[in-house]
A and B are shown apart, each in its own frame.
Chain A
Amino acid sequence: MTEVDALGADPRDQAVRDEISEFIEENFLYMRLDHVLQPSDDLMALALLDSLGFVELVEEVQDRYGLEVQDVEITEENFGSVNAIVAFVGRKRAR
């Protein structure tokens, strides 16, 4: 059972958002100096990550949150932005 606050948001979502944003900033954005990461940024379209960086990001999500990610789940919808990752982690936790 997931706890939710008065607005219906899982407080853990913000933690995931902060952690993933920090991971991306620390690992990749030192190469994109003038970019301020927004949770809705399309990570691949904006070339914030290359294909090998994407591997690192997905595996970080798996490791950090102890999730089993299936091949079919490696999609833009689930990993295309920080918000997408937050939602994906939330859905996986809810199962």
Chain B
Amino acid sequence: MELQKFVENFAELFVDTDTAVFNAQTKFRDLEEWSSLIGLALIAMVDEQYGTKIKGEDIRVSQTIEDLYNVVKLRMA
């Protein structure tokens, strides 16, 4: 699993936010478009693309997209 690809998959959950905004250090909760619905979509995307389950609580304690990536990596291990 690659960080850059994860950032791209994450960016695809958004509709109005410019993809140039997204990088590993992006604080996703500060994005105007971020919502609990995108949070649910993130859980579903991770399940579909990486075959593992993360929880709402994992998202709550993460700050950056890289934090999320690390959670997914941990779960896949």
Chain B associates with chain A: no
Chain B residues packing against A (C-beta within 8 Å): none
Chain A residues packing against B (C-beta within 8 Å): none
